[in-house]
C-alpha cells in the first residue's frame, strides 16, 4: 500500500518477499527515506533497505542489499544472473561511529541469512523514481516547484478570511 508521503519523497522501492512455506510471494513498498540505490553508470544495480532497531539501549541498523550476481552455470555452459539478498548489521555504541557486528547479535535479526535464488534472473526489488534529479540521483517530489502556489493559496485564503471578519 502506497501512502501520500511517497509523493513528497519522490522515490522508493517495491520489494518482493519470498517466504518458505508460503503459497505466493508478497510485495512491500519501502519509501525513499528507508532505502538507497547503488548505480553503475545511470542504471540502478542494487536497492539497499535500511531498518533500525533498538536493543539493550543501543541503536542498530540493518542493511538489506537486493541485487543480482553473475555466476557461471556449468550445466548451461554460460554465465547467468541470480537474485541475491545480503544482510549487514551495524551498532552505534554511545553516539560514536557505526561498527559492523554479526547479523545474529540481536533477536530482531538473528534468523536472517544471506539468500541466493538461482532460478530468478532479476533483482527482488523494483526501484520507483519519479522525475530523476540528476544532481541528487533521487526522485523529485510531486510538490517540487509548487511551494509558491501553496503560498499564493494561503495568502488568498487569509485575505478572504480577513475580509469576512471585517464585514461582519
Helix, strand, or coil (residue 57)? coil
Supply the pTM of this predicted model: 0.72
Question: In the chain, which residue ranges form alpha helices assigned H by DSSP?
Answer: 5-9, 147-167
Write phi, then psi, for 74 (nearest 5 degrees).
-65, -35
Per-residue confidence at 141, pLDDT binned at 50, 70, 90? low
- CA-based nearest residue to 38, from 70, 13, 7, 2: 13
pLDDT grade for 163, boundaries at 50, 70 and 90 = confident
> What percent of the chain lies above the pLDDT cut of 70?
79
126 exposed, middle or buried (CB, 10 Å; 0-12, 13-18, 19+)? Answer: middle
Alpha-carbon distance values, 90 to 21, 26, 53, 59, 109 (Å) = 30, 27, 10, 8, 11
Amino acid at each position: 500500500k502506497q501512502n501520500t508521503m511517497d509523493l513528497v519523497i519522490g522515490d522508493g522501492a517495491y520489494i518482493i518477499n519470498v517466504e518458505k512455506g508460503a503459497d505466493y510471494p508478497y510485495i512491500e513498498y519501502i519509501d525513499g527515506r528507508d532505502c538507497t540505490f547503488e548505480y553503475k553508470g545511470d542504471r540502478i544495480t542494487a536497492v539497499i533497505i535500511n531498518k533500525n532497531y533498538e536493543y539493550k539501549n543501543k541503536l542498530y541498523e540493518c542493511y538489506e542489499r537486493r541485487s543480482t550476481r553473475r555466476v557461471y552455470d556449468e550445466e548451461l555452459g554460460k554465465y547467468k544472473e541470480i537474485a541475491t539478498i545480503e544482510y549487514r548489521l551495524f551498532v552505534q555504541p554511545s553516539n560514536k561511529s557505526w561498527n559492523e557486528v554479526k547479523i545474529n547479535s540481536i533477536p530482531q535479526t538473528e534468523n536472517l541469512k544471506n539468500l541466493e535464488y538461482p532460478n530468478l534472473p532479476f533483482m527482488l526489488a523494483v526501484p520507483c523514481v519519479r522525475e530523476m534529479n540528476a544532481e541528487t540521483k533521487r526522485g523529485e517530489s510531486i510538490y517540487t516547484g509548487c511551494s509558491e502556489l501553496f503560498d499564493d493559496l494561503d495568502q488568498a485564503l487569509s485575505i478572504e478570511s480577513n475580509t469576512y471578519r471585517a464585514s461582519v
